[in-house]
Structure 1
Amino acid sequence: MAYSTYIFDAYGTLFDVHAAVRRHADRIGPDGQLLSELWRAKQLEYSWVRTLMGAYADFWTLTEQALDFALAKVPSADRTLREALLEAYWHLDCYPEVPGVLKALKARGARLAILSNGSQAMLEAAAKSAALDIVLDEIFSVETIRRFKTDPDVYDLVTTEWRLYPDAISFQSSNRWDIAGATKFGFRTVWINRSNQPDEYFDYAPSLILPDLKQLA
């Protein structure tokens, strides 16, 4: 079934969150993958904990704090790369199929948007760097409500702004927890399982599971 509205999570779905570390892999040391995985895990953990506490901090602050933890946890990593890694996060590579898929959906007349935990500045920079800004109709950031996914109000940003019922929206994310939250909210959900992870949250199953975005086009 073709939809007229496609909403995409940003990090891990459109943009490769491990690209920043990979860009400096030759200088980081042998534990670069571990560093990158810890950085991402703590970034997400901090967003969930702060939402539960009602103590919002923007996603860029959490990204910095998560990297500091990862660098402290991985002593083999070169700490002098901190600023270079943070700078690289503003210009993450998108996955190879992303530009073509988004252009094809746009050519069919679909509306396209990002809905992300990222700050508005981070998302706009990443979209511009990957030349996705020319096909996106909107970038929705949680910054406006100061709560992170999977708070239902995050998903409601789209339905309220675009005056749509949730089931009129196809929502794509590589994060299974995000898919669970969006499914509960009422979106039609597509889990982009890029790393072949086992399923979970079985009571909030996605409508479709794909290895990448290609089949959307």
Structure 2
Amino acid sequence: MSDLPLIVFDVNETLLDIRTVEPVFKRVFQDKVDVRHWFANLVLYSLALTAARSYVPFTDIGAAVFKMLADTQGVRLERADSDELRQKFSTMPPYPEVPGALESLRNAGFRLFTLTNNLAEVQAHQLERAGIAGFFEGLFSVDSVNRFKPWPQTYDHVARELAVQPSQLCMVACHAWDTLGAVAAGWSAAFVRRADNELIGVGPQPQIIGSDLTDVAQQLIARYAARR
């Protein structure tokens, strides 16, 4: 068995550029609501529903949050608005450095996977459209356990499916709540600093912190592959 950890990537915002969805919010809300405010609420309510033992697919929560925010601003949404948001979110491009970073990790011998809050079919479509699906050996979705990250069962499911110990897995994400959940589940973790995302100074911390995915990949290779 390889002594390299299996690398598991978050998808939205870690690999795919959520900033490309911003024009929808500019058009609908002008400057009252931006994409990050929407996404933060999407994550918040996914966790609230999980805590309430009520699973709703991530895409449906996103649409409900979109309407909720429109209601708070007195904005009337048209069907076309919601359709455009769904289409933009499912076709986000990768950040520029992502393909090269994934290739360098794979060339160094790492096995690559994903774990996303999206439905499996949405994730598959996203990665295909982004042109990076071929880098990954397997795609995991929280839909398999009906609990959103960072709920422990989401990480445990991946370990069981891959038949490895949690310590053999490394989560790569740009969200502190995701790396926190992974480390609490016994994984290692690497944090990617994306715009408007930062670590929180309490709770389990990632072992690697990088300015972008290239930086994280280089640190992973130096930490593990270069010592083989």
Q: TM-score, normalised on structure 1? A: 0.89
- Does residue 55 of structure 2 align to residue 15 of structure 1? no
> Displacement, 1:37?
2.1
Deviations 1:128-153 (A, max 9, x none): 01111111111100101111111111
For 1:20 and 1:201, how far apart are their aligned partners in 2? 29
Distance 1:7 1:190, change over 3 A: same
> What are the equivalent positions in structure 2 for 1:150-165 lying under 5 Å apart?
150-165=150-165
Contact 2:174 2:197 in 1 (8 A): no
Contact 1:113 1:138 in 2 (8 A): yes
For 2:50 and 2:5, how far apart are their aligned partners in 1? 31
For 1:185 and 1:43, how far apart are their aligned partners in 2? 23
> How many aligned residue pairs are there?
214
For 2:86 and 2:167, how far apart are their aligned partners in 1? 37
Contact 2:59 2:86 in 1 (8 A): no
CA-atom RMSD in angstroms: 2.2
Deviations 1:153-210 (A, max 9, x none): 1001221111111222221111101111111111111111213655325231110111
Partner of 2:189: 189
Q: TM-score, normalised on structure 2? A: 0.85
For structure 2, list consecutive stretches of 5 or more residues without a partner in the other structure. Answer: 219-228
Contact 1:46 1:62 in 2 (8 A): yes
For 1:129 and 1:105, how far apart are their aligned partners in 2? 21
Percentage of pairs with the same residue: 24
